[in-house]
Chains A and B, each alone.
Chain A
């Protein structure tokens, strides 16, 4: 579990070798195509019987075909491996999230945080495709090319090796240094401008109503100017690496020609010389992918670091961790039992029996200086209805989080006679339901959003319960249980019906024995209905 998410993004060698092998073969074919062509032409100029050239002619045609063919295979196999790995990365991340959500995630900006985690995880696909693949292929094919040249002309091989090593080092160091500088000078300016634009767009009505739009636009403009000036200063560095590669290619050609010209006649024939002199042109085409891979690595590493920071493997003590995840999902898979069957609820006994007993209960949110709650004593009996009141911030929601075991506690919390700490958090949640302050609506139809709470319910059950919370008419307007809700219940924000009615909808889904903050904007009748339905 402590294995880093970034590490999981790279497919194991048993899966990735096909892509690497075909990629190297494709790159080598390209180098061999030029080498054999140069040899063929120079040899032909010596006007031997055409028979002597047939091998060279066949090789030229063969390498022309294999280059394209292996390239195609490489792209297919490497993408297949990367996609397979994506499923692994996503489930791994999800397992981590399941362990700690929601208390282990940052409380302030949860929505945005998760969105960025998800896109960062998708960006990790670049690790096999754009980092490992090109680096391994260019290293393999350049080494083999050097070996080939060395056999023909040792001095040419040495020159090629030295210039390749220099080129690898110089281009990747320069590319990395330039990217660091660019990031340093631009990242903060980009962030400031982005925040100002978002502020402007999201609060346009406020800015206009308070005559502040002019000042805000001036601010956006000045941030834009600032960013533009800084970016223009950096612009001259782009293309520098490509220019360097082109320069080094040329220098290598000069070097191999110079190294070869003294050896000609002493064991090096004219055609062999042409081969040695021109091969660098093809080899350096492969080198060009190295600085690009270095830049891709920077992006991938940053995404990986963000994911690690957002979903830490090591946790603060206050968070209740669902520990039995990975092994037990695998058990499920082995036995073929229906995964995700909710844990069995605890038995509560008869009306009047003690259901929940709190003694000296306290809790603290991770990273908070003060406890959110301390010394709470409470008895709740079966059949009882209890209302918790108090000013905002006093810890009402915190208590709910403790009761469903999202947040750990000090003191004692007994449910159905058992100390909650000793129970499986899932079976506590199977016993104590929660109607959240902001329940999440899934991008599914109405039926699916209700069914996941109790999958045995019939359509008639669902319609009846919607009727009871005052959503019957609305349901008919929208075309019944098959109506889709859209992203994050998107279309329920079109003005009507308002969010509060949706909270009502979620209430119907709950078999709750504990319900949190009735929706503030809803009508009293509805609140009563909901309370009766739930309790």
Chain B
């Protein structure tokens, strides 16, 4: 970990102002630290020298110094906290924008829940970095040299002792860090594995119970955790040495300075006021560095979170930009285009690969308006990817255009309902009318056609659409596509596995509904396995890795 990541300065402008203001505050605070040590030593000396009449003056000055020092310390931390708030907000909005601009295909290669955690609580780890670590880093760079200069002006020997021991701290820490780095990395890995194996045992508990294996896990969890303890302790024995070295250097040098002063006081080559002043000032020279060391791990968490964010921001891989030639000309707005009553969406040489993993293709398919087309095929052959290619969310090769005007289907003339319902928090009505105004009658119509007559549009859903059963969520998702169909000049409806959680009666109603929609001049494409759905369609393609075989031909007028 670098002490201060330059990318932080680049992506979060709030940091720059903080560094400048922090340095100014730190310099003033150092002045008061020196003043504090000076005044305390003078106050003690006047009492020891039996000059009590001078004491009140020193104590008043001391009180003012203490007040200023405390206020400055507070100001520095409050400033750090404000900076943390601003930086988090800046990084958060940048990363959300970036992810959205990359699109779904890019996001699909990542764990979206993890990313959301990173953007939320993950970035909160930066609080510690700003509150505890960065101010101390500034003070180390600023206050420590100033204090060393003050020490030298008072007593060269004490200055030399501090200058010699100070660099030992980072040197030791780096050396110990090096020797334990690989062991620590292994240990982190082990910790992650342990945590995930515990989580695994907890999540799979019902499966374990079904097979009567739950009890064996209790013993296993205890044993694994204890194994982890003994191996961790071996690593900690070494890595705690860095803290040991730090404490040792700081306290030993205080002892060295104290003894050296004492000996010279006896011989009369040094005065008591100077001696006490040096004694109080010496630990202050080590304090910022000790704090940096103590808060290193808390700061490292924040930096790790920021690193993940920077990685997202810097990842220049292109996402949704597909190589399929979606249209030969710039598509005119759908409404203005002259649209024939009957048209065919022609997919030619369409193929999809994820990296080196060939999914399917090249295949040719025709999606005709007025026709209910089914795409079947064994699980995993790429049926959903085919819909993704038509939608433009999956990178694909080949061409895709309407026969009438050689244009790719525009966004406005397409409605889609995916395999995963993808509902948002809010009412059912607001989910159905997503991206549009809510017309309650049309919402109810859409729900009815989708087989969700019994769903109250006013029901409030939680995050991720929680609160509905799988089948209900599926029907709401379908109603959402149908609502769009009713509100816009849609002539292509793509539906992915609409009935996987429905009973047979509802399924038949749904197929009837889709047929009626097709009859209105819409090309309806449904991905399905279910015999009941296949029987109700006009044309069936069976998708295979290298071909799309038309198993039933449409009879068109």
Contacts and interface: CB of A to CB of B under 8 A. Distances in A.
Q: Place the interface of chain B in its size category.
A: 35 or more
A134 to B, nearest CB: 13
B467 A244 contact: no
Interface string B257-275: 0110111011010011001
Contacts of B210: 404, 429, 433-434, 436, 510
Given A190-B120, A247-B66, A98 B236 contact: no
Interface string A83-108: 11011101100110110011000001
B508 to A, nearest CB: 12
A199 B464 contact: yes
Contacts of B182: none
A257 B258 contact: no
B466 A232 contact: no
Most B CB contacts (10 A, CB to CB) among A67, A71, A203 go to A203
B262 A392 contact: no
Contact of A258 (B59, B104, B244, B466): B59
A71 B244 contact: yes
B3 interface: no
A243 B529 contact: no
A429 B279 CA distance: 74
A239 B229 contact: no
A67 B222 contact: no
A483 to B, nearest CB: 16
B435 A41 contact: no
Interface in B33-72: 36, 40, 43-44, 47-48, 50, 52, 55, 59, 62-63, 65-67, 69-71
A192 B262 CA distance: 62
Residues of B contacting A: mostly: helix
Contact of B425 (A57, A195, A217): A195
B370 to A, nearest CB: 23
B302 to A, nearest CB: 15
A418 interface: no
Interface in A110-130: 111, 114-115, 117-118, 122
Dominant secondary structure of chain A at its interface with chain B? helix
A99 to B, nearest CB: 10
A138 to B, nearest CB: 16
A240 B201 CA distance: 44
Interface in A486-535: 487-488, 494-498, 500-501, 506, 509-510, 520-524
Interface string A158-175: 000000000000000000
Interface in B227-285: 228-229, 232-233, 236-237, 240-241, 243-244, 247-248, 251-252, 254-255, 258-259, 261-263, 265-266, 268, 271-272, 275-276, 279-280
The number of chain A residues touching the other chain, given as a range, is 35 or more
Interface stretch (B77-85, B144-152, B303-311, B510-518): B77-85
Contacts of A247: 66-67, 70
Nearest to A433: B210
A419 interface: no
Contacts, number: 447
A204 interface: yes
Contact of A203 (B200, B261, B414, B423): B423
Interface stretch (B93-101, B440-448, B546-554): B93-101
* Most-contacted residue by chain B among A33, A232, A235, A249 (CB, 10 A): A235
Contact of A76 (B104, B200, B233, B262): B233
A68 B120 contact: no
A360 interface: no
B202 A33 contact: no
Interface stretch (B111-119, B335-343, B361-369, B398-406): B111-119
Given A72-B247, A430-B212, 14 more contacts: A33-B251, A44-B266, A76-B233, A80-B229, A122-B195, A190-B120, A202-B116, A209-B391, A240-B74, A247-B66, A258-B59, A274-B276, A277-B43, A329-B215
25 contacts: A41-B275, A41-B276, A47-B266, A48-B266, A71-B244, A88-B222, A90-B225, A94-B218, A101-B209, A102-B209, A109-B466, A198-B116, A204-B104, A204-B107, A211-B436, A228-B85, A238-B78, A253-B40, A254-B62, A342-B211, A391-B506, A429-B212, A440-B206, A506-B207, A520-B500
Which 9 A-B residue pairs are closest in the complex by CB-CB distance?
A: A340-B216, A239-B77, A250-B66, A342-B212, A212-B435, A243-B74, A496-B380, A440-B204, A64-B255
